Amino acid sequence: MEKCSFCVQRTQLGKLQAKMENRPLAGDEVQSACAQACPTSAIVFGNQNDKTSTVAKIREENEGRLFYVIESIHTLPNVNYLAKIRNTDEIIVGENNANEHARQEEGLPVTPQHEPATEEHK
């Protein structure tokens, strides 16, 4: 298995074309293969520094749902995720989510990425 290269060949091609046309690379101009192939647009690729790009707008509009992997140790990766939206009006208790709802009722965080780091992970 290979690591993700963020489709460097596509990024370099887009940069080269923009350079030959003597213009800056637009924030949504380069698309990764996985973003292009995703039928639900669950993957968004772009330049977050271009405030007009789709990825920058999604990050701005979903600030409360935005999280990074192991952000508790301040890794600041380029990839972020959006937490799933939970229906807090109706509690559906089942085998798999009983503990999660119990934690929610006690006011404790329910998503692992928001749990405070334990002593062994500091």
Task: State which residue, 7 or 44, has the beta carbon closest to ligand SF4.
Answer: 7
Q: Which is nearer to ligand SF4, 26 or 110 (CB)?
A: 26
Please enumerate in sequence order all residues whose Cβ is within 8 A of that of 109, keeping only pairs 6 or more positions apart, or say none.
103, 115
Binding site for ligand SF4 (CB under 6 A): 4-7, 32-34
> With respect to ligand SF4, which residue has the nearer C-beta, 1 or 92?
1
How far apart are alpha carbons 57 and 52 in whole angstroms? 7
Distance CA 14, CA 32 (A): 11
Q: Residue 34 Cβ, how far from ligand SF4 at the closest point, in Å? A: 3
| Comparison of 6 and 81: residue with beta carbon closer to ligand SF4 | 6
Please check whether residue 116 is in contact with residue 72, taking contact to mean a CB–CB distance below 8 angstroms: yes
Find the largest Cα–Cα distance for the chain. Answer: 59
Neighbours of 21 (CB within 10 A): 9
What's the closest the beta carbon of residue 24 comes to ligand SF4, in angstroms?
Answer: 22
Shortest distance in whole angstroms from residue 6 CB to ligand SF4: 5
